[in-house]
């Protein structure tokens, strides 16, 4: 993958593009964008199916598909799928190989939600390799939705999860290099820019993110999962959108499900995944709902970084899939009986 940075776009340019302004903005013509959008056929998967964010979602989907293809439940499928990137030592945006915060601590966030609206989550969890499974235990074995920090770790150990060191030698090397400059600058689409790369270069430019997964099983039930190691070099205690129900993940079995990726603060401010599902309830397709949610973030964006990225992925009860992002580069993986390795590029406003 190329490591070149995306073009810098002025915030007003992004907003204009999101609003569909007809004038050319930063070399983009809204009319051409509209024609391109109209030409793109909707993505329709057969039931059962599973979709997930980023190219590494293919491997996660394979694990989920092993459950769905045997008639298994969507909830079991998304947990099985999310555990794959959590254990992948090449993945520095999710799980045990994730980059640490600025103090050298690897802290993990995850959430899970089923067809009944039950949900569980953990935030700022240390020393446990599979936060998605701890999140499911929170959902099923406590009256709570979210456990955080030392309390989440205590609960995980009480549930039999093994405590271990999560800071890998490669991640430690990258963190030590970052300490030379102490420069924090999130970069869009780092999930694919950093996967499997040699580490240790100074600069700390990477903004790590999320595996979001949505599954529709043979009974027509939906479930979702979201797991992350969060932004690299973040302030200790920072929590993004991934463990926040309604922000990083939301499931409504009557309508559909949605998940997000990118700068979590922007998603939280707009209750992004809940917004996507509610827009689908109002009649939008998954694609239209994701587009409108991104557009709203652009209109209300308060970030000082013009290179920020946010993307949404959604599926409805009919198996229709849609995605949209602020910037190009957001990919997602689709899996059903016809194909288990399909990767699509999200539409975007740049």
Positions marked catalytic: 210
| φ, ψ dihedrals at 276, nearest 5° | -60, -45
Read out DSSP for 272-311?
HHHHHHHHHHTT--HHHHHHHHHHHHHHH---S-TT--EE
Answer whether 99's CB lies under 8 Å from 59's CB: no
Q: 347-348 and 320-325 as β-strands: parallel, antiparallel, unpaired?
A: parallel
Q: How many other CB atoms are found less than 10 A from the CB of residue 331?
A: 22
- Which helix (H) or strand (E) segment is 33 a member of? helix 30-39
Separation CA 137–CA 150 (nearest Å): 16
Contacts of 38 (CB under 8 A, 6+ apart): none
Separation CA 254–CA 242 (nearest Å): 22
| The two three-digit tokens of residue 230, written as one number | 């969060």
Peptide bond into 125 cis (omega under 30): no
CA angle (146 as vertex; 97, 237 as ends), nearest 5:
55
* CA 269 to the chain's CA centroid: 16
Give the DSSP letter of residue 4: P
Alpha helices (H) in 19-119, listed in sequence order: 30-39, 57-68, 74-87
Q: Which of these, 117, 115, 135, lies nearest to 125 by C-alpha position?
A: 135
Sign of the torsion angle spanned by Cα atoms 12, 18, 21, 22? positive
């Amino acid at each position: 993958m190329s490591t070149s940075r995306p073009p810098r776009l002025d915030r007003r340019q992004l907003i204009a593009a999101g609003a569909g302004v007809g004038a050319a903005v930063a070399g983009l013509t809204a009319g051409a964008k509209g024609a391109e959008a109209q030409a793109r056929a909707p993505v329709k998967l057969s039931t059962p199916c599973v979709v997930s964010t980023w190219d590494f979602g293919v491997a996660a989907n394979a694990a989920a598909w092993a459950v769905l293809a045997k008639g298994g439940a969507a909830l079991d499928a998304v947990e099985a799928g999310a555990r794959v990137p959590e254990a992948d030592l090449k993945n520095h945006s999710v799980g045990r190989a994730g980059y640490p915060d600025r103090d050298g601590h690897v802290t993990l966030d995850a959430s899970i939600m089923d067809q009944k609206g039950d949900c569980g989550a953990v935030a700022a969890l240390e020393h446990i390799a599979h936060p998605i499974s701890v999140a499911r235990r929170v959902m099923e074995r406590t009256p709570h939705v979210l456990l955080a920090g030392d309390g989440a770790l205590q609960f995980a150990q009480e549930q039999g999860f093994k405590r271990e060191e999560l800071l890998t030698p490669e991640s430690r090397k990258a963190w030590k290099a970052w300490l030379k400059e102490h420069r924090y600058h999130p970069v869009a689409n780092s999930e694919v820019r950093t996967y499997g790369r040699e580490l240790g270069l100074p600069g700390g430019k990477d903004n790590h993110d999320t595996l979001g997964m949505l599954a529709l099983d043979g009974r027509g039930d939906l479930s979702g999962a979201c797991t992350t190691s969060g932004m690299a070099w973040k302030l200790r205690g920072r929590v993004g959108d991934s463990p926040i129900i309604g922000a990083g993940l939301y499931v409504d079995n009557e309508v559909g499900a949605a998940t997000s990726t990118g700068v979590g603060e922007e998603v939280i401010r707009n209750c992004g995944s809940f917004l996507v599902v509610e827009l689908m309830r109002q009649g939008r397709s998954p694609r239209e709902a994701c587009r409108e949610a991104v557009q709203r973030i652009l209109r209300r964006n308060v970030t000082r970084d013009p290179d920020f990225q946010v993307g949404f992925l959604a599926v409805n009860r009919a198996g229709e899939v849609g995605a949209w992002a602020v910037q190009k580069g957001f990919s997602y993986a689709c899996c059903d009986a016809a194909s288990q390795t399909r990767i699509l590029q999200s539409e975007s406003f740049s």
